[in-house]
Amino acid sequence: MPLGAWRAALLGLGLAALPNGSTAMAQPERPARGAILSAEQGDIACYLRIRDEAGQVRRWMADFDVCGAAERTIGRVVGLRWTEANVMHPSCQGDPSCRRTQRVVLVSGIGR
């Protein structure tokens, strides 16, 4: 497969080719506003399903403190604030004694 076709295939899968030849998941643009469809507590973060203003529905990580407020705004369009934070690494599998972390961008607040 020619190199250009290979890169196009990766991009079609949501992957981006990095200069060193490895791949990484392409990050969708974070919406400034969206409708909260659901909020669910997970092991490493709260997970929100959000419909953005273009109609795209995606699942986003959020700070645990956001989950309670999000549950009270299901179905409403809200403003979304984002921040980088450390969360428990998935390899910890929810073990509270595990100290491995990963840096992620997550929803840190919701408002009007």
Quote the tokens at residue 23. 């791949």
Give the pLDDT confidence score for residue 28 in this predicted structure. 72
* pLDDT tens digits, 6-27: 333 333 444 344 444 444 555 6
Return the DSSP state at 30: P
Please name the helix (run of DSSP H) or strand (run of DSSP E) that holds residue 40, with its range, or none: strand 33-41
* pLDDT tens digits, 56-74: 999 999 999 999 899 999 9
Provide the pairing of β-strand 33-41 with 77-88: antiparallel
Give the pLDDT confidence score for residue 104 in this predicted structure. 94
Q: For the residues 80-105, what does the mean pLDDT come to?
A: 93
Give the pLDDT confidence score for residue 23 in this predicted structure. 45
* pTM > 0.85: no
